[in-house]
A and B are shown apart, each in its own frame.
Chain A
Amino acid sequence: GQQLNQSPQSMFIQEGEDVSMNCTSSSIFNTWLWYKQDPGEGPVLLIALYKAGELTSNGRLTAQFGITRKDSFLNISASIPSDVGIYFCAGQLGTSYGKLTFGQGTILTVHP
Chain B
Amino acid sequence: DVKVTQSSRYLVKRTGEKVFLECVQDMDHENMFWYRQDPGLGLRLIYFSYDVKMKEKGDIPEGYSVSREKKERFSLILESASTNQTSMYLCASSPLWGGGRETQYFGPGTRLLVL
Chain A residues in the interface with B (C-beta under 8 A) = 1, 3-4, 6, 9, 33, 35, 40-45, 48, 50, 88, 90, 92, 94-100, 102-105
Taking a contact as CB atoms under 8 Å apart, the answer to whether A103 and B42 are in contact is yes
Taking a contact as CB atoms under 8 Å apart, the answer to whether A94 and B97 are in contact is yes
State whether the Cβ of B83 lies closer than 8 Å to any Cβ in chain A. Answer: no
Taking a contact as CB atoms under 8 Å apart, the answer to whether A48 and B101 are in contact is yes
One of B31, B59, B111 near A98 (C-beta < 8 A): B31
Given contacts A43-B90, A100-B43, A103-B42, list 8 more A-B pairs with CB under 8 A: A9-B40, A42-B108, A42-B109, A45-B103, A90-B43, A94-B99, A97-B31, A98-B97
**Interface size, chain B (Cβ < 8 Å):** 34
Q: In the assembled complex, how far is the CB of residue A56 from the closest CB belonging to chain B, in whole angstroms?
A: 11
Q: A41–B110 Cα gap in the complex (Å)?
A: 9
Taking a contact as CB atoms under 8 Å apart, the answer to whether B43 and A95 are in contact is no
State whether the Cβ of B106 lies closer than 8 Å to any Cβ in chain A. Answer: yes
A-B contact count (CB 8 A): 75
One of A50, A90, A97 near B56 (C-beta < 8 A): A97
Which residues of chain A have C-beta atoms less than 8 A from B99's C-beta?
Answer: 94
Taking a contact as CB atoms under 8 Å apart, the answer to whether B97 and A92 are in contact is yes
